[in-house]
Amino acid sequence: MDDGDSRWRPRAGVLSRRVGARVLLLVEQADEPVLLSASAGAVWAAVDEPVTAATVIDRVATVFGATSDEVAADVATFLDELERLGAVTRA
């Protein structure tokens, strides 16, 4: 659960490629890359430096032309998923 003050950042050694709207991600512990959806890929792209969840939400909302409220729940889900994959971490 994000407390709002946490800063998300990519883990060292994570490699990525954009393929169209989607993103291929290879994390350090994995043998094979995973293919993210366009939405999850946008969340990954937004975490290119240490950022709060609120900033990620704003960035993703801008990409999709939506309001922050509309994307907030999905962004939180994708951040948790990226954390579980080992692609991002928070401090």
Partner 1 sequence: MSDLVRAITRLGLVEDDHWPAKPLDDTAFRRLARAVARERIDGLAHEAVLAGLLPVTDGQAARLRAAHEEVAAVALQLDRQLLDVQALLASHGIGLLALKGPAVAHLDHDDPALRRYNDIDVLLRAQDMAAAEVVLVDHGYQRVFEQLRPGFDARFGKGTTLTSPRGYELDIHRTLAFGAFAFGIDVTDLWDGTRPFALGGRTVHALGDPQRFLHACYHAALGDPMPRMTTMRDMVLSAPPSEQQGEVLALIDAWRGRAVVGRALQLLHARLDIELAGPLAALRHHEPTWLERFALWAQVSDHRSFATQVVAAMPFLRGWRDRIDLVRAALLPDATTRRSLGTAGRLAWLRRGVLSLLGGRRDG
Pick one of 1, 3, 4, 12: the residue that binds partner 1 (CB under 8 A): 12
| Residue in this structure with the two tokens 């969840």, named with its chain if needed | 53
**Least distance CB 69 / partner 1 (angstroms):** 30
15 is an interface residue for partner 1 by CB under 8 A: yes
Query: Strand, helix or coil at 74?
Result: helix
Size of the site for partner 1 (CB under 8 A): 17
CA distance 5 to 8: 10
Smaller CB separation from partner 1, 43 or 72: 43
13 is an interface residue for partner 1 by CB under 8 A: yes
Helical packing angle, 68-85 and 53-64, nearest 10°: 120
